[in-house]
Chains A and B, each alone.
Chain A
C-alpha cells in the first residue's frame, strides 16, 4: 500500500541513484585511484618509496607533531568542556564562540598568524634571531600552526556530551566526600572517555593531514616536510614522482580509514554524540 507520506518510486530511484552517483565519483573513485596509482609501479617500488629517507622523515615528523598537538588540545578540550558544562558564568557563550574560531578560519591564516609573530619580519623576529631561537621554519612553528587548526576538536566533541550528562553524579560524589581529583578520575572520566577518544581521533586525523598552516610554517626546508607536504613534493617531481606521491598518500588514506571506522563505531554505539557539521 502506498502511503501519503511516501515519495513516488520514480523520485525515490532518482534520489538514490543521484546519491550513489555522487558518492561514487567524489568519494569512492578517489580512494580507488590512490590505491591503484600507489601500486602502479609494483609492490617493490611502493615499499621502497615508503622506506626512503624522505618518506621516513616525513612520517616521523608527522608523528612527532601529532604527539605534541593531540595531548595539548586534549587537556585543553577537557578543561574547556568542564568549565563550560559545569559552571555558570558571564561570557560563556562568547567563550564557546571564541573556541570555534579556528573552524572558520582558513588554515593558511593559522600559519600566517604565527609567521607574523615568529617570522623574520614578525613581532618577535629580530629578538629570536638575536638569541638564535628558531620557531618559524622549524618544529615548534609546525606544532603551533597545527595546534591552531585542530584547536576545537576535543572540546567540541565533549561539550554536547557533558551537557547531556549533567552534573548530578559529580555532585553526588562530592557529597560522599570525593575530592576534585577523585571526582574527575572516578566519576567523570569513565563517563566521557569515549568522547575524549572521539575528539582525539578527529584531532589526530586533522593534525596529521594538515596542509595549509604547516606549508606556511615549514617553508621549503627538507627536514620540515610532514607527510602531506612530502606528498606535494613528490607530486612536483617529474621523475616517477606521481607513484611516489600516491604511495605516501596511501598511508594517509589508511589513517583516514581508521579514523572513520572509529568515529562511525563510536557514533553508532551511541557512546558519543555525533558532532554535526565540522
Chain B
C-alpha cells in the first residue's frame, strides 16, 4: 500500500493513465476512466465555452429570440412574426438582397477567374517580383475595409484623376457611386480568399501526373481540363464561396463607394442599420436572421464541397 500512498491525490490533472481494470481497484478512482493525460482540460474548456457563449452564442440567440418575442408594439407572437416577415419580404429588403447577394456573387466569380490566374502564376511561374506580389495578395486582409473603400472610391471616381477619370473620358463609364463600385469593393475584399485557398492545392499537384498525361498523348489543354481542373476544383469552389460569403456581409468599404440609395444601391447590412436607427429592432433582427441563414447556407455548401472532395480522394 505504501506505493499507492505516495501517489498524488486524485486530481484530474494527475497523469494516471493506467487503466486499473477489475483486478486493481486500489488506484484513486475519479469515477470514470482517465482519458486526459495533460492537465487543464476543465479550465480551458470551461473558459472556452464561457467566452464563446458570452461573445457569440448568447448574442446570436438574442437575435433569434427577438424575432419571436412580443413587444409593446407587437403584442403577440403572431404579430411579431408577421412584422418580421413583412420587413424581410418588403420590396426594399428584396432589392437589397438582390444587390448584396447578386453583386457578391458576381464579385466571387470575378475573383474565381482572376484568383485562379493569380494562384497559377504564383505557384507555377518564376518571374521578378513574384514574392512581392505574393505578399501583396494579403493586403485586403490587413487593410481596414474603410480605408480600402475610401481609396477605391478615389481611384474609380470620375473626379479622382485616376482610373475612374480615364474610364469616364474614354467610355463614359461611371464606377464609383454606382453598383459597379460595389462590385469593385467586393472584388477587392474577396480576392485573397480564392488565391490563398488555391495556392496550397496547386503547389501540391504532382507533376508526374501531368507528365503521364502528356506521355499518353494529351495536349496541354486536355491535361488541364482532365487532370488539373478536377484536382483544384474543390479548392476553387471553396475559395469562391468564401469570397461570396465575405462579400455578402461587407459593409465598411461599400459605405464609401456606394451612395446607398434605397431600392437601387442599398445593401442589406445598410438596411439593418437604418432599421436600428428607426428603433425597429424587430425588423432589424428579421433582416439579420435572413443574412444569418444565407451565411449558414454558404458554410454548408463549402462543407459539402470539402466533404465530397475528401470522399472522392479517399476512393481514388
Q: A7-B124, A109-B291, A113-B288 are in contact. Are A264 and B138 (CB under 8 A)?
A: yes
Q: Nearest CB to that of A253 among chain B residues?
A: B147
A-contact 0/1 string along B207-231, CB 8 Å cutoff: 1001100110000100000000000
> Does residue B85 face the partner (Cβ distance < 8 Å to A)?
no
Q: How far is the CA of A112 from the CA of B154 in the complex (A)?
A: 30
Contact between chains at A117 and B147 (CB < 8 Å): no
Q: How far is the CA of A272 from the CA of B43 in the complex (A)?
A: 26
Within 8 A of B (CB), among A214-232: 215-216, 227-229, 231-232
Within 8 A of A (CB), among B88-147: 114, 117-118, 120-122, 124-125, 127, 129, 133, 135-147
Q: How far is the CA of A72 from the CA of B36 in the complex (A)?
A: 26
> Does residue A196 face the partner (Cβ distance < 8 Å to B)?
no
Contact between chains at B117 and A109 (CB < 8 Å): no
A-contact 0/1 string along B41-70, CB 8 Å cutoff: 101110111011001110110110110000
Q: What is the interface residue range for chain A against chain B? A: 35 or more
Contact between chains at A260 and B138 (CB < 8 Å): yes
Q: Among the interface residues B38, B154, B163, which one has the most CB atoms of the partner chain A within 10 A?
A: B38
B-contact 0/1 string along A252-275, CB 8 Å cutoff: 110111011001100000000010
> Does residue A128 face the partner (Cβ distance < 8 Å to B)?
no
Q: How far is the CA of A256 from the CA of B136 in the complex (A)?
A: 11
Q: How far is the CA of A20 from the CA of B13 in the complex (A)?
A: 55
Q: Nearest CB to that of A167 among chain B residues?
A: B38
> Does residue B84 face the partner (Cβ distance < 8 Å to A)?
no
> Does residue A140 face the partner (Cβ distance < 8 Å to B)?
no
Contact between chains at A121 and B71 (CB < 8 Å): yes
> Does residue B80 face the partner (Cβ distance < 8 Å to A)?
no
> Does residue B310 face the partner (Cβ distance < 8 Å to A)?
no
Q: How far is the CA of A208 from the CA of B43 in the complex (A)?
A: 30
Q: Among the interface residues A37, A115, A264, which one has the most CB atoms of the partner chain B within 10 A?
A: A115
> Does residue B79 face the partner (Cβ distance < 8 Å to A)?
no
> Does residue B269 face the partner (Cβ distance < 8 Å to A)?
yes
Residue from B220, B238, B273 in contact with A277 in the complex, judged by beta carbons closer than 8 Å: B238
B-contact 0/1 string along A1-34, CB 8 Å cutoff: 0001101100010011011101101111111011
Residue from B142, B154, B155 in contact with A259 in the complex, judged by beta carbons closer than 8 Å: B142
Contact between chains at A107 and B37 (CB < 8 Å): no
Residue from A27, A28, A113 in contact with B59 in the complex, judged by beta carbons closer than 8 Å: A113
B49: chain A residues at CB < 8 Å are: 95
B137: chain A residues at CB < 8 Å are: 23, 27
Q: How far is the CA of A195 from the CA of B287 in the complex (A)?
A: 37
B-contact 0/1 string along A98-123, CB 8 Å cutoff: 11011011111100111111011111
Residue from B135, B200, B251 in contact with A260 in the complex, judged by beta carbons closer than 8 Å: B135
A-contact 0/1 string along B269-309, CB 8 Å cutoff: 10011001001010011001001100110110000000000
Q: How far is the CA of A18 from the CA of B307 in the complex (A)?
A: 32
Q: Nearest CB to that of A92 among chain B residues?
A: B45
Q: How far is the CA of A255 from the CA of B142 in the complex (A)?
A: 8
Q: Nearest CB to that of A261 among chain B residues?
A: B135
Contact between chains at A116 and B272 (CB < 8 Å): no
Contact between chains at A256 and B143 (CB < 8 Å): yes
Contact between chains at A83 and B41 (CB < 8 Å): yes
Contact between chains at A112 and B285 (CB < 8 Å): yes
Q: Nearest CB to that of A251 among chain B residues?
A: B147
> Does residue B260 face the partner (Cβ distance < 8 Å to A)?
no
Q: How far is the CA of A76 from the CA of B54 in the complex (A)?
A: 12
Q: A30-B152, A102-B56, A183-B39 are in contact. Are A23 and B133 (CB under 8 A)?
A: yes
> Does residue B255 face the partner (Cβ distance < 8 Å to A)?
yes
B117: chain A residues at CB < 8 Å are: 15, 18-19, 22
Q: A99-B52, A116-B281 are in contact. Are A86 and B152 (CB under 8 A)?
A: no
A-B CB proximity, top 7 nearest: A209-B144, A106-B249, A211-B252, A4-B214, A30-B151, A113-B59, A180-B39
Binding site for B on A (CB under 8 A): 4-5, 7-8, 12, 15-16, 18-20, 22-23, 25-31, 33-34, 37, 72, 75-76, 78-80, 82-83, 86-89, 95, 98-99, 101-102, 104-109, 112-117, 119-123, 144, 147-148, 151, 167, 170-171, 174-175, 179-180, 183-184, 202, 205, 208-212, 215-216, 227-229, 231-232, 235, 242, 245-246, 249, 252-253, 255-257, 259-260, 263-264, 274, 276-278
Binding site for A on B (CB under 8 A): 13, 15, 35-41, 43-45, 47-49, 51-52, 55-57, 59-60, 62-63, 65-66, 71, 114, 117-118, 120-122, 124-125, 127, 129, 133, 135-148, 150-152, 154-155, 160, 162-163, 184, 187-188, 191, 193, 196-197, 199-200, 207, 210-211, 214-215, 220, 238-239, 242, 245, 248-252, 255-256, 269, 272-273, 276, 279, 281, 284-285, 288, 291-292, 295-296, 298-299
| A to B CB contacts below 8 Å, 26 in the list | A5-B211, A15-B120, A18-B117, A19-B118, A20-B129, A23-B137, A25-B155, A30-B155, A72-B51, A86-B40, A87-B41, A104-B245, A104-B298, A109-B269, A113-B288, A116-B59, A148-B56, A171-B38, A174-B39, A183-B38, A205-B142, A211-B145, A215-B251, A232-B256, A257-B142, A278-B242
A76-B47, A202-B141 known, 13 other contacts, Cβ within 8 Å: A5-B210, A18-B118, A19-B121, A22-B114, A82-B40, A104-B295, A105-B291, A123-B62, A174-B39, A179-B39, A212-B251, A256-B139, A264-B138
